[in-house]
Copies of this chain bind each other. A is one copy, B any other.
Amino acid sequence: MSTTTATTPTTATELEAILASAHQAAAPWAALRPAARADILDAVADALDAAGETLIPIAMAETNLPQARLSGELKRTTFQLRLFGEVLRDGAYLDARIDHADAQWPMGAPRPDLRRVLEPLGPVVIFAASNFPFAFSVAGGDTASAWAAGNPVILKAHSGHPELSRATASTITVALAAAGVPAGVFALVLGTEAGATALKDPRVKAGGFTGSIPGGRALFDMANARPEPIPFFGELGSNNPVFVTAAAATQRGAQIASEFVGSFTMGAGQFCTKPGTIFVPRGSEIIESLRATELPAPAVLLNKRIQSGYVEVLEALSSHNKVSVLAQGSDPLADPPSPTLLLTTAADLLAHPESLQTECFGPTALVVEYTNESDLVALAESFEGQLTATIIGTEGCEAGDLIEVLARKAGRVLWNQWPTGVSVTYAQQHGGPYPATTSVGSTSVGTAAISRFLRPVAYQGFPQGLLPEALQDANPLNVPQMINGKR
C-alpha cells in the first residue's frame, strides 16, 4: 500500500476525478440564489474560526510566522468570506440591466427587450501564495471571490504549507458537505504538474494566482496559449516605491524614518506591498535617522526557498557598484537574516532600473537620495507597473504631476500612509499594470474582486418566467436593476 503524506502530489487519476466533479458541480452551484451562497460562505467562515486552535499551530510550524499575526490573518480571512456574503445579499455585483422594448429608440431601429446579468464562468483554478497562509491561500480572497461569483474552485496548494493546506481544505470540505453543497465545488490539488494540467483543462474557465513574476507569467502564458484561452488573474510582484517630498522630510524626517522601518520590516519584509524603495532628499534627516536606527531583530523567513532566494537577490543588490549599505544588523545574509537598508542615488537608479528596481522579497529596502524634487516625476516614470505607490508629503504641497504619474503606474496610491496592510473593503484596489498583475483591470482584494470571475449574458425577448430571477420585472431577489439606463 502506498502512503500519502501532506506533500504527495495529486495523481493524474485523482485530478481527472476532481476536474469531472468540478465540471459537474458548476451548474448547480451557479443556480443557487446568491443569498444561499452567502449562507454557505458564512458557514465556511464559522468552521474556519472554530478550527483556529488546530490550524494556527500548523501554520506556525510551516511558515515561521508568529501566532498573533496568524490569528489576525485568520480573522481577516473569515471576515473576507463573510464580506462576500454581504456582496451576494446586496446583489449589485450582478450588474442587472433591463432595457424595455422601444419602437422609437433613436438608433434608427426598434430596440428589443434586452436584459443583461453577470453569470459565473465555471470551474476556476486558484494558485495559492506562500506569504499569507490563510488570507491568500486555500480559503483566501481568490477562493472567496470565485465561490461568491458562483464558480467551483480547484485550489492548487502552495508547497510552503502543505499540512496547513490539507487541514484548511478538510475544514472547508466538512463545512460544505454539512451545508449540502456538491462535492465538486471545492478540491485541493498538490504539485506543480497537477496545477498546470488543471489550468490547461478545457473544463476549467479561469485562473487566479498570487506569487512570483516568473511563476505567474508562465501560468499566464499557459492560460492564453490554450485552444480556448481563459481569463487569468495573476498578482505577481511589486517594488512599491515611496516618494518623500523635501518639505515632509524637513518637517518630520525622524518620524518618517521610523514609520518606514516599521513598514518594510513588517512580516520580515515578506509582503507584496513592502515599500522596496524610498526616495528622500539628499542630506535629509531621514538618512541619518535610518543610519542610526536600530533595525528589528532577525526573523526566520517563510521557508528555505524564500531564504535562499532572498540571500541571492540581496547579495546581487548590495554588491552593485552604485549601492552602499546604509544600515544593517550583524547577520544580513544569515538564516534568519537581520534587516538591511541599502543606499543609492536617483541618478544611479535611473541608470540601472533593471538591477535596482527589482523586488527583493524579504527585510531589505533601497533608500534613494535625490537632489531636485522636480526629478521625482521622472523617477516615478521609470518604474514598471506597481501594486502601490506612496507619497509622503505636506499639506498644501503641489503634487499633482507626481500623483498623475503614480496613478498610471500603480493600482493604489497612498498619501502619508504606508502600503503594507491591505484592508479588505469595498473600495480597495490590489492590482496594477504589469508586472504588478497580469490583468490591469482587476483587483484581488476587496469586494470588486468578485467581478473577475463573472461574465455578462444578455437575454433578448424572453418571457418573464424563463428569465434569470435578477432580470425579472418582479425582481424576486430584490437586486439593484438598471432600467432603461436609469438606476
Contacts and interface: CB of A to CB of B under 8 A. Distances in A.
Interface of A: 27, 31, 72, 75-76, 79-80, 86, 90, 92, 95, 97-99, 105-109, 111-112, 114-116, 119, 121-122, 205, 220-221, 224, 228-231, 384-385, 395, 399-400, 403-404, 407-408, 410-417, 421, 423-429, 431, 433-435, 438-443, 446-448, 451-452, 454-463, 466, 480, 482, 484-485, 487
B466 A429 contact: no
How many monomers of this protein are in the complex?
A: 2
5 contacts: A114-B425, A231-B441, A403-B466, A413-B460, A415-B461
A426 B485 contact: yes
Contacts of A482: 426-427
A114 B423 contact: yes
Given A412-B458, A417-B112, A441-B455, A107 B426 contact: no
A442 to B, nearest CB: 8
Contact of A458 (B116, B221, B411, B439): B411
A384 B400 CA distance: 48
Nearest to A397: B466
Given A79-B107, A459-B415, A408 B122 contact: yes
A69 B229 CA distance: 35
B426 A97 contact: yes
A435 B229 CA distance: 9
Nearest to A408: B122
A460 B114 contact: no
The 3 closest A-B pairs by CB, nearest first: A429-B458, A97-B427, A116-B427
Contact of A427 (B114, B431, B461): B114
A429 B109 contact: no
Contacts of A427: 97-99, 114-116, 458, 482
Given A229-B220, A413-B457, A466-B400, A75 B108 contact: yes
Contacts of A454: 441
Contacts of A411: 455-458
Given A414-B461, A461-B414, A485-B86, A425 B105 contact: yes
Contacts of A90: 485
Contacts of A114: 423, 425, 427-428
Nearest to A395: B463
Contacts of A79: 106-108
Q: Considering residues A86, A205, A427, A428, which has the most beta carbons from chain B within 10 angstroms of its beta carbon? A: A427
A83 to B, nearest CB: 8
B109 A460 contact: no
Nearest to A110: B423
Nearest to A225: B221
Given A79-B106, A109-B421, A224-B221, A457 B485 contact: no
Contacts of A98: 427
Contacts of A463: 395, 415
A115 to B, nearest CB: 6
Contacts of A111: 423, 425
Contacts of A485: 86, 90, 426, 447
Contacts of A438: 229
A426 B455 CA distance: 16
A20 to B, nearest CB: 15
A66 to B, nearest CB: 15
A458 B414 CA distance: 8
A461 B423 contact: no
Contacts of A461: 414-417
